[in-house]
Every structure is written in structure tokens, then in C-alpha cells.
Copies of this chain bind each other. A is one copy, B any other.
Amino acid sequence: MSAGTIWGVGLGPGDPDLMSLRADRLLRETRHVAYFRKSGRTGHARRIAEGRLCADAVEYPMDYPVTTEIPVTDPAYTAQLAGFYAQASDHLAGLAQSGADVVVLCEGDPFFYGSFMHLHSRLKDRVPVQVVPAITGMSAAWTATDQPITWGDDVLTVLPATLPEDELARRIADSDAVVVMKIGSNMPKLRAALAWAGRAQETWLVQYASQSGQQVMRLSEADEAQMPYFTIALIHGQGRRP
């Protein structure tokens, strides 16, 4: 029997209409679907796929053992996640070795800050693995602001808000266009960094880009106490334009 393929399928920013033709087809055809989720939740990727899966598709939810309960810098966090990814990879490798193709549902683009990469690195030398790229959350966010992110020779810097405040500030000051991801509880630190860099007035926030509940606002209008995980901050480049 020949081995099946593990497909890491990017579903895009959230609006199912923004998934690729290839992703849509793979979802409709597959008999085996796996996805990450916070324990007890539907899972964001699974929600994007709703209505496209075969009635007889077998689902394999992969429940994170921990999300924000332990700091990512704690060795216990790394140990728990490493064990979890190893176990999930073993399970998927077993399915592929038995001849099954498996679609792993991925929010956004799998190779851009995605969880699938932790399976990919553990699977790629064991069974066939294919990745389908997708529209990123940041593309949906700048589209929601109705302004281009980069013109001409603009430099774009993508920053996780988890970085130290002084590093955020230095890099925000040194780039034409800026995208900040992973904001959540880092909003007060990010606000301070933007102020230090003198760019708070230019900053936009987009919550739930392309999803129901999408919100677009200037930083100056934002209520810091209400910052969901799916928040992206943007500073648009102002480069050369004929």
C-alpha cells in the first residue's frame, strides 16, 4: 500500500469565501480531517470549514494541552507542547502510513506563524506532506482599512507584540510600513512602544479581519480593555507614488 499525504491546508483569514479553490476542493473531497482547537471549543479553523466537509468525513480534533495558562517562556509550556505535537504527529503519520490522505485545517497561511509547522517539522521525513498557502490575516486587515500597506520602495516589518517594548519601539521607528500580530494582552506595551516611536497617530487596529464582527479603528479610538486575540495593528507605508 502506498502512503497517504498529510495536507496542511491554509483556510485564510476567516471569511470562507476567501479560501482558495484548491483548499475548497481538498476540504470537500477528504475523508480525514484534523484541526487544532482550544479544549472545549469548536476551533477557529473548524468553524471556517463548516458546511464543506463530507458527511462521512472522520474528524480528529487536536486539543492544545495549554494555551495561555502558562507563560511561553516557562519550560513546562515547551515540554507540554512538544509532547502534544509529537503525539499528534505520530497519530497523523499512522493514518498516512495506512494509506489515508488527511487534511489538516489551518487558519491563515500555514507557514506564517502557524501551528501546522510544528507538525510539518515532525512529519516531513516520515510521510508525504503538502502545504497549501493562503491569504494571511494581515492581508485581510490592510484590505479592511481600505488603504495599501506598501507603495514603491516601502519596507514592511512584521512584529509579534510579544517582543520587549524597547525592541518594538526601535523597529516601529525604523520601518515605513508596520504590521503587529499577537497583540492580545500586549496592548499596553504596544501602545507605549508606538508612542515612543512617534507613530501612535498613524496606527490602525483591525479586529476579526474578514470575519463577522470585523472592527476597524484608529488606535486613538480604541478601548484597551477590549482587545481580542485576533487584533492586528497596522501602519501604512507612504512611499513613492506617481
- What residues of chain A have their CB less than 8 Å away from a CB belonging to chain B? 12-13, 16-22, 24, 72, 77-79, 81-82, 85, 109-114, 117-118, 120-121, 124, 131-136, 139-140, 142-143, 146-160, 162-163, 171, 175, 210, 240-242
List 10 extra interface pairs beyond A111-B143, A150-B158, CB under 8 A: A79-B242, A109-B143, A112-B150, A133-B210, A134-B135, A136-B139, A153-B162, A155-B158, A155-B159, A156-B158
Q: Are A242 and B77 in contact (CB under 8 A)?
A: yes
Q: Are A21 and B22 in contact (CB under 8 A)?
A: no
Q: Which residues of B contact A149 (CB under 8 A)?
A: 111-112
Q: In the complex, A109→B147 CA distance in Å?
A: 12
Cβ distance A236 to chain B, nearest Cβ, rounded Å: 9
Cβ distance A104 to chain B, nearest Cβ, rounded Å: 14
Q: In the complex, A72→B241 CA distance in Å?
A: 10
Q: Which residues of B contact A20 (CB under 8 A)?
A: 12, 17-21, 135
Which of B24, B131, B132, B159 contacts A146 (CB under 8 A)?
A: B131
Given known pairs A17-B21, A72-B240, A135-B133, the reply for A124 and B146 (CB within 8 Å) is: yes
Q: In the complex, A156→B113 CA distance in Å?
A: 10
Q: In the complex, A114→B150 CA distance in Å?
A: 8
Q: Which residues of B contact A155 (CB under 8 A)?
A: 157-160, 163, 171
Cβ distance A144 to chain B, nearest Cβ, rounded Å: 9
Q: Which residues of B contact A142 (CB under 8 A)?
A: 111-112, 133
Q: In the complex, A179→B72 CA distance in Å?
A: 27
Q: Are B18 and A133 in contact (CB under 8 A)?
A: yes
Q: Which residues of B contact A146 (CB under 8 A)?
A: 124, 131
Taking CB as reference atom, which chain B residue is nearest A136?
B139
Q: In the complex, A131→B1 CA distance in Å?
A: 47
Q: Which residues of B contact A110 (CB under 8 A)?
A: 143, 148
Cβ distance A232 to chain B, nearest Cβ, rounded Å: 13
Q: Are B158 and A114 in contact (CB under 8 A)?
A: no
Q: Which 8 pairs, one residue from A and one from B, show the smallest C-beta to C-beta distance?
A: A81-B242, A117-B148, A156-B158, A133-B139, A111-B148, A133-B143, A82-B242, A17-B22
Cβ distance A171 to chain B, nearest Cβ, rounded Å: 7
